Structure formats: structure tokens, C-alpha cells
Structure 1
């Protein structure tokens, strides 16, 4: 088996070449190249079974080189070495269906694991006719999802799969999108094969873009695809969905295609129909052309009304508006999902702006963080729940802080009204407020930084100080009027707080 290693970093190539026992992995011939162009020239001279390539290289990058080598050798297994900055770049390589992406910095252990998998793949292609047939079928499925498939490759794959252009007269594309981060679950296609075989339907099937399962339904002598009713297709696809067990998914059915060239249009219509699933909800099935083309966009009055409810602390009014927005989107399931996300972003963003403008210490989020949360919603229902939960958290926060301020204010009022009562203390306040002593103590300390007892003493001393200056009343009478029946205790506290006895204070001032 021949492997070609292409990387413009000399030390990376030498590290992998010398630290891995390639022969033990089943590699008979090991070739190397310093960039994409020299890699492609090497591949033209020798048939390549496995390609390991960096992405960003001078003269010709890894993507372009891999595409050219795949044209030469359709069965060549591709392994990409990718850095973090290559992730977006790799989107253009999806159609190549690389077997693995090895993250940089590269460790020999990672490469050994990936190469072992690639060797197994190559051996299966060579030794298992069933495996090779399924791989070629999957390639044909993917090829038919492109707008302009290469005629030579298309003709070859049709022949390998025992099909002809006439096989696609009266056909239709079905799409299953797995919403799991793990993509299409292992074994799903095998179970789907059994299901479709039991239904007596002709089809070709393959995975696409990691999280899509594409099924092209084909007409046979006994069954035309155009004769399959929507209830039948819905029932069939629901049985298919049972195979996903606890995974979340969307399923879309494309329009009917009358010939091979129209099949791409059927695929595209299914892709567009997946937009409807966002509105229909998790684990839903949509049919292309089933909904009208009109979308919904809230006007400026909606957001003004929402902000008005926030300012007036009208939680019920706010949730009524959010529910009306949700209902409006549900009744217009053909809008652009990106626009829906932007509308909800605006609703949430103005809440944070309001908090910032009014110095409300509610949770904050950067624009990117807010957008990331909104983008994580797979359905309108999830997006609505995010908005409702955030606004609910805001109103809970405002209510709790208002209650805290109210309790502290009532404590101050009761102290002001009753500071002359010797019984004024935690128990007195607790009984009057009908709240536990521990609760009011903790709340008051959190807000003021002082304990209730300290506040009572401080207030009483302030009142006594004022009376000492404004009247000639006896010190004992002033002490009693300020809640100190014991003059000696009053004198000690007064000196502790002011540094002087009551008599000294009166005479000094």
C-alpha cells in the first residue's frame, strides 16, 4: 500500500517519517512532498492509496491538491493535518469526504490511529465487494447533490451502481439531518437499508456533510415514486426516525424529479424545506412546497412595546408580547431563520442595553456571547424559550432586589419610629415584619454593611447627641427617651461611639 505525506514544514515530515513504524501499519511504500504542486506531480507518477496532507502550503494548497488526486484515484483515502485556523477553510473540503482531520500540533500516536483506520478502509475496498459497492453508492449520492456533476465520474459511478440516467425518471430526494454533535449514528444506514427493502422501494443512500443522510428514491417497474402519497412517506420516515432512538433530527422531502438532471433540484428543495423544520420543531418532517412563501417581521412598535413593559416592570405584558411573536413566526414558517434569530437578538440586546443605561446590576453578555446563545437554538421553540427565560430572570432579579430594598427600608422606618422603645431589637423587628430574624439580619447586613443592632445603637446615639445639643433635659431623661433605661450603660456606649461622655459632649460642643 502506498502512502504520500505532503507538508511544507520539513521537521513535521521528518518527525512522522522516522518515528512511525509504517511497515507495521501495512504501508509498503512511503512518499513525501514539500507542497501541493510537488505532491500532485508525485501522485501522477505513482498510484496513491492514502494521502496525508497539510492544508495551507505554498504554490498549491492541500485542498486543491487533494481534489486533483481524487480525480486521478477516486478510492484514495485522504487524511488532513489541520490547525485551528484551518477550520473554516476546511468547509470547502467537505465534498472530498476526508476520512480524518488530525489536529496540529501532530503527535505520531494520532497519525498511527488515523492511518490504521485508513488501511482498514483500503483493505475493505479491495476485499469486500459489498463494502466497495456501498462506498461507490455513497459517492454517487453525494455527486448527485452537486449542481454540475462531472459527466465522466457520473457515468462511471452509475455503471458501478448498476444504474442509468433512466433510473432517475420519476425520483425524489429525502434528507435526514441529525442535530447531534456526533452526526449520523453508527448503524443507521444498515437499519435504513432493511426498512426501505421491506417497503419494496428502490433507492440509493449515503451520508453527506457528516450530519446528513441523503436518500434518492427511484421508481421501479411495480412502484412509481410519484404514486407514493404524503401519508405513506410520512409513515415511512417516522419509522426511520425510530432508529435514531434518543437523538434529535429534522427530515425533509424534496419535490418530484422527472429525470436525472432534475434530481439536484429535488435535493435543493429538500434543503430549503429543512428551514420549515426550524418552525415545526424538533423531530419534525417537512415537505417541499408545503408552506406559503411569506415570512414575518415584527415592526418597531413591537420592540418599543417590549421595552415599555420592561421599564414599567410589567412582566405579564412582556410575556404576552413574546408569545405573540412566537405565534406569528409559527404561522409564517417560510421566513429566513437568520432573520428570526436577528429579531430575537434585538429583543434580548435591548434588555441588556436598558440594564446598562439604568445601572441595573443584572447579568451581562457581550454581543458575541448573546449571538452564540441564540445560534445554539435548533428550533423556534428553543429560541423562544431562551428569550422567555432571560426576561423571566430579569423580572425575578428586579422583584428580589425590590423586596430586599423594601425590607431594609421598613427596618429603617421601624427604628426611626421606635428608637425610644427599650424593646426595639431583632425580635421586635422580626415580629413586626413577619420575617425570620436570620433573614432580616442577613439581608440588612448585605445591603448596608452593618448589623441591625449596630444600626439601632448608632441611630439612638445620633438622636441622643441631637437632644444633648438642643435641650437642657437631664441626661437620664434623654437616655430613657432614646431607649436606654440604664444611664450607666448609655454613658459607656456614648463614650465608645463619640470618644466623650454625654456631659463632656454637651460641654465641649
Structure 2
């Protein structure tokens, strides 16, 4: 059930604040209109009545008391909430005779406004129940009760209300449903769940839909929830994807046997949502032994990307695939945050792009980057990055095959003599061509000058040697052809973006 509100205040900032700051949708409310004084509010009510009015006490032309009196006489079902300053509080209390729902003393907080509006909602429903009990109104009251049961400690009052609505919580599972990304169509999600209802009851909780599945405990070890429940969740997922083209993630709690455990069960279902990144079908079950310490990416993952880069540049694609496998195994075993995993994959994407651009080749399909951002689980991401590796393999191997014999022989000579000083004249003499011709040809085919290519090869070798912490930095500099450690450090930083010391960690 949706409640329509009218905000009345002569201060524009107050009207805008109440309209924009409070998350009205979360408590089933819509701001139907605003007015700057009582007279304007009365005219708007004549055009279209509302359910709840929030009005200031002091306004020009016609104040909040005049408006409250008019509402009591003409629209007695509308609930009025009056905002008042301390100086006017005694004056405001005279409005009690006009059946005002609540008084809020300025300055007010969002929590006060929400609590007051929810109180007015209950009064409206209770009033309607005295006359004609509507099915939607009863559903609303049950929703409110379950939300309280979610957030508050179990009490005799809540137990009495559960009994009043014949709601038995003696054998159940909780499932939390969430659209990724959230697009504000939570009501549509609730409609889908109701349409495919399977021994369950659902309600909205913030930007989630919580469903209670009334089933006995599952006797099987895997899965640890009834097959009927899982199938219902899969059907809901399929319908959401078909109608709204949005991914739906679902978290399911353990089995519970008491209303006292209800808030714990909801917590488990929401906690399970965070594990969905590691679930291939977007349905995750609560794991009591899930990691309690949050895992964040370290220099180790960054180092793995550099190793991956070296393998790709060296055209060692089998080695590159092994490195990728080890990266994703580590991420999965540590339940790394999805945002961190995506950022790492984006880093790998741009590393591959840089390698291709360095050779004058086209970038991989940019759709891959969008796919990384839109992925809902780690398995999708692993497939995307492996697809990127195949693109790099195809492009780089084709490029390598197209090198002329002169360039291939030059690259082989550089690789074999990486420790020694290498000049253009020396290299040209080795491949028996004019130095000027070699310089032009090498740049055209590889995308690098000879000096740049030599430095890149030396830095690649240096990164491999830096993994062995028993070798001193100046010794590594000598092994890759740099006699001056300071110059080596400067060149390394130019190509890697950090000093040898920082790279080694």
C-alpha cells in the first residue's frame, strides 16, 4: 500500500529537505505535492486529497492550525503532523482538539519524521480496519510487523501480534532478494515473487525483498535447503531476467524454528548475499564458517599481474594461463571483495592494452571492459580475462610471425646479449644492414625504437630477478646491462611506475 503525502511550509529549504532527504520509497510513501501555506494546501487538497500532511505551525495567510481544523472538518481520515518551534509549542498543542496525529519539535531529524509518518500509517490502517478490512491493508500491517521483528528484540507484544495475524514462525528459511545494480524497481521484484509464490510470504526491507519460506529442515547435506525452495528462487531469477533484463542475487539463511531467531535468520540471508560473487547461479547459501576477516588485495596480486605481463610479452601463454589460474584460486579462497577483484581485472585489461599498443596493434574489444563492470560473479570475470588472454595470444603471435628476418634476428641478438652494452651500429653490423635502415624498419614493425626495446627487455629481466630477494639491487642492475645503479633505478621507474625497491616490496 502506498501513502500519499503533502508537505506544507513557507520555507523553501524545509520543503525541499523533507522532499529529498528522507527515503520515502523505503516506507511506502510518495510526496504527492508541496505548498507554501495553509490556503495553498487547502486548494491542492480540493483537487486531490492525500493520506498524510506534514505542516509547519507558523505560516503567512493561513497557518498549520487553520489547515488542521479544515482537514478535521472536511477530510477526517487524513492524518496531520505539525512541525513547531519551541516558542510555539504550547500554541501548537491547542491543535490536539483538531485530531492532530503528532507534533515534532524543531530542529527535527530524519528518524523523527520517519517514526512519526509510520505511526500515522498505522493509525490510518487501524481506522480502516474498523470499517472494512481490506486485504492489502492487512498485508501492509503484516509487513510492518515483520520489519519490526527484523529490527527489534522479540517481545510479548510482537508475539501477540504474530498470533493475531496467524503467522507461524516455527519452521522456516529466509531468502533475501536484491537487484544488481539497484534501479528503484523493487515493487516489480515483489510482484514477481508474489506471482511465483511457493509456500512463502514476502515483504520489502529497505532495497531488498525478504521472503519467508515455510519448509521443514532439509535432511540432505547438499544442498542444505529444500529443492522446492531453490527451484522457486531459480524461477524468480529467470522471470526477473526475462522481464527486466536485470541480474537478481539471492541469499538464503539456515533453517530456523522460532520467531525469536527471526532477526538472526534475516541477517544470515543478507550476509549470504555478499557471498553471491562466488556463486555461479547467483543463489548463495549462508555459510557459518565463512571468513570473518575481510581480505583485501595486497602487493602480491599486483606482483602477479607483473608476472602475467612478463609472460605475455615473452609469448609464454601457457605460463600466463597458469598465473591467471593461481590469481583466481587465491581470490576465491580468500573471498576477496568484488570491487577489488573487478579493479584487478580492469588493471589486467589495461596491461594487455598497453602491450598491444606498444607493438602498434589494435586494442582488444572494449566490450570486455564493460563486461567486467557488469559481471555478477567471479566465474564470469575469470572467463572474461581468459578471453582477453586469447585475444592477446592471437594478436601477438600473428604480429610476431609478420616480423622480417632482419627484425627477428635483431630481437634474438638483444635477448642473448642483454647483459652487454648494445649499440645501433653493433646491432646493424650483426644483421648486415645499414644502421639507418635498421632503425626505421625496427620501429615500423615493433612500434618501439631500438633503445626503447632494449630497455624494455632489460626491465622485464630485472623484474624476474627482483623476485629473488637474495640478489642485491646493484647486482641485478649489472646483470641486465646497467653499470650505474641510479640510472637503472630511473629507467626501471620510467617503465614500471615504481622503483626497484618499491616493486620488490
TM score, norm. by length of structure 1: 0.50
Q: 1:183-227: CA deviations, max 9, x gaps?
A: 45353243344x21xxxxxx543132334332153xxxxxx7336
Shift of 1:135: 1.3
Instruction: Sort the Cα spacing of 1:304 and 1:38 in 2 relative to 1 into closer, same or farther, 3 A.
Output: same
User: The residue matched to 1:174 in structure 2 has which SS?
Assistant: strand
Gaps of 5+ in 1: 51-57, 78-118, 197-202, 218-223, 365-369, 411-443, 448-509
The reply on whether 1:143 has 2:148 as its aligned counterpart is yes
Q: 1:323-372: CA deviations, max 9, x gaps?
A: 34335555x3xx4341x5424523542663686699737769xxxxx999
Instruction: Sort the Cα spacing of 1:5 and 1:157 in 2 relative to 1 into closer, same or farther, 3 A.
Output: farther
Q: 1:322 maps to what in 2?
A: 324
Q: 1:67 maps to what in 2?
A: 114
State the distance in 2 between where 1:313 and 1:70 align: 66
User: The residue matched to 1:162 in structure 2 has which SS?
Assistant: coil
Q: 1:226 maps to what in 2?
A: 217
Q: Which has the larger radius of gyration?
A: 1
Query: Counterparts of 1:187-266 in structure 2 under 5 Å?
Result: 187-193=191-197, 195-196=198-199, 204-215=201-212, 217=214, 225-226=216-217, 233-246=226-239, 247=241, 248-266=247-265
Contact residue 173 and residue 253 of structure 1 kept, 8 A: yes
The count of residues paired between Structure 1 and Structure 2 equals: 338
State the distance in 1 between where 2:129 and 2:47 align: 18
1:24 maps to which of 33, 39, 47: 47
State the distance in 2 between where 1:264 and 1:346 align: 36
The reply on whether 1:9 has 2:9 as its aligned counterpart is no
Contact residue 190 and residue 209 of structure 2 kept, 8 A: no
Contact residue 178 and residue 250 of structure 2 kept, 8 A: yes
Query: Counterparts of 1:49-448 in structure 2 under 5 Å?
Result: 59-61=107-109, 63-70=110-117, 72-75=119-122, 129-146=134-151, 148-149=152-153, 154=158, 157-163=161-167, 167-179=168-180, 181=183, 182-183=185-186, 184-185=188-189, 187-193=191-197, 195-196=198-199, 204-215=201-212, 217=214, 225-226=216-217, 233-246=226-239, 247=241, 248-289=247-288, 299=300, 302-327=304-329, 329=331, 332=333, 335-338=334-337, 341-343=339-341, 345-346=343-344, 348-349=346-347, 352=350, 360=358, 374=372, 376-394=374-392, 398=396
TM score, norm. by length of structure 2: 0.51
State the distance in 1 between where 2:166 and 2:219 align: 24
User: The residue matched to 1:249 in structure 2 has which SS?
Assistant: strand
State the distance in 2 between where 1:125 and 1:381 align: 55
Instruction: Sort the Cα spacing of 1:235 and 1:314 in 2 relative to 1 into closer, same or farther, 3 A.
Output: same
State the distance in 2 between where 1:131 and 1:407 align: 80
Shift of 1:251: 3.4
Q: 1:269-310: CA deviations, max 9, x gaps?
A: 222223333212134352544878899879456334212213
State the distance in 1 between where 2:82 and 2:369 align: 41
Shift of 1:9: 1.0
Q: Which moved more, 1:34-43 or 1:283-292?
A: 34-43
RMSD (CA atoms) = 5.3
